[in-house]
Amino acid sequence: MAELIKKAANIEPVFVEEKLLPPWKEAWISFYKNRLALAGLGIVGFFIMIAILAPIIAPYSFKEQVLTDRMLPPSSDHWFGTDDFGRDIFSRIVYGARISLWVGFFSVLGSVVFGTILGIVAGYYGRWIDSLISRIFDIMLAFPSILLAIAVVAILGPSLQNALIAIAVINIPNFGRLVRSKVLSVKQEEYIMAARAVGMKDTRILFRHILPNSISPVIVQATLAIATSIIEAAALGFLGMGAQAPTPEWGKMLADSKNYITQAPWTLFFPGIAIMLTVLGFNLMGDGLRDVLDPKMKN
């Protein structure tokens, strides 16, 4: 017994070193565990592939008119049927994916860039600059978003590019206020005060320390805003203030087919399903990113 105690006393403790994963890999593992988020990523990836491969996938040109084939129901020749000009709806939806994703991505990119810059400036410098920028945001948010977008397009003129600009403008306050609130909390951290104390320039503090620590909620909001932008682009197209004929924009396709809802319901059904699935994909993916990047959502 004494020998066993002596041997046990001579045993050195073994420490198991825990391997730390890179932040991006840990975030991907958390995202991968969310099945709904993966489904959203799959839907978004599917439409992106359709947009990239549109010339290969589409059996017809999106603007090819065959008047003898007007209002044909779905068949082996025309999977989604044809519209009132005899154009293949499947081909137009495939090419329409390019337009909707292009508007969604680039309008949100513009909103993120300008909203982030204004939010950082307002939150970091404060005082009259903060008051001025915040009041501009408040005025813009006082109007319904679609009404403000219509006003911008009415000034610039109806076109797809002007619709993109209008959607970018109306979303700037959302990102600006989000970044401003984050900057107000980050700039009170001790490492920011230390950077100021050693004489570091404001531009370096803003873009090297404050911006990287404020970007997570912006990524989540941007993903969700893409879905909103696609809906807003479709709404402007439906009202005739977005894409113009013969551009195969999904909202414009709905507007062109609204008079044939009883005669040819497939002309509205398939563009509507495309809009719904795309928006659903971005919303599911955005919810998954929020769960991963928001510390409050982590268990």
- pLDDT tier for residue 50 given thresholds of 50, 70 and 90: very high
**What's the rounded mean pLDDT across residues 210-230?**
84
> Looking at residue 113, what is its pLDDT?
92
- pLDDT tier for residue 2 given thresholds of 50, 70 and 90: low
Domain ranges of the chain: 44-297
**What's the rounded mean pLDDT across residues 46-75?**
88
Nearest to 277 by CA among 11, 17, 46: 46
**pLDDT tens per residue, range 61-72:** 888 888 888 888
* CA 180 centroid distance within chain: 20
> Looking at residue 241, what is its pLDDT?
84
Residue with the larger pLDDT of the pair 24 and 226: 226
Beta bridge partners of residue 82, listed in sequence order = 88
Q: Could you name the CATH architecture of 44-297?
A: Orthogonal Bundle (1.10)
Sequence-ordered list of residues with C-beta below 8 angstroms from that of 151, at least 6 positions apart, any chain? 143
pLDDT over 80 (residue 221): yes
> Looking at residue 210, what is its pLDDT?
79
> Looking at residue 274, what is its pLDDT?
92
**What's the rounded mean pLDDT across residues 104-132?**
89
Please answer whether residues 89 and 274 qualify as being in contact, where contact means their C-beta atoms are separated by less than 8 angstroms. Answer: no
Residue with the larger pLDDT of the pair 148 and 28: 148
> Looking at residue 224, what is its pLDDT?
86
Q: Whole-angstrom Cα distance, residue 36 to residue 31?
A: 9
> Looking at residue 213, what is its pLDDT?
77
The percent of residues above 90 in pLDDT, for the chain, comes to 17
| Block residue for tokens 């002007």 | 162
Q: Lowest mean pLDDT: which of 65-74, 87-96, 162-171, 202-211?
A: 202-211
Q: Whole-angstrom Cα distance, residue 187 to residue 206?
A: 9
Give this prediction's pTM.
Answer: 0.81
Residue 275: phi and psi, rounded to 5, are -65, -45
> Looking at residue 38, what is its pLDDT?
87
Residue 111 in tokens: 């909103």
| Block residue for tokens 């503090």 | 205
- pLDDT tier for residue 296 given thresholds of 50, 70 and 90: low
pLDDT over 60 (residue 10): no
- pLDDT tier for residue 15 given thresholds of 50, 70 and 90: very low
pLDDT over 90 (residue 114): yes
The percent of residues above 70 in pLDDT, for the chain, comes to 88
Mean pLDDT of the chain: 82
> Between vectors from CA 109 to CA 35 and to CA 116, what angle results, nearest 5°?
100
Please answer whether residues 129 and 122 qualify as being in contact, where contact means their C-beta atoms are separated by less than 8 angstroms. Answer: yes
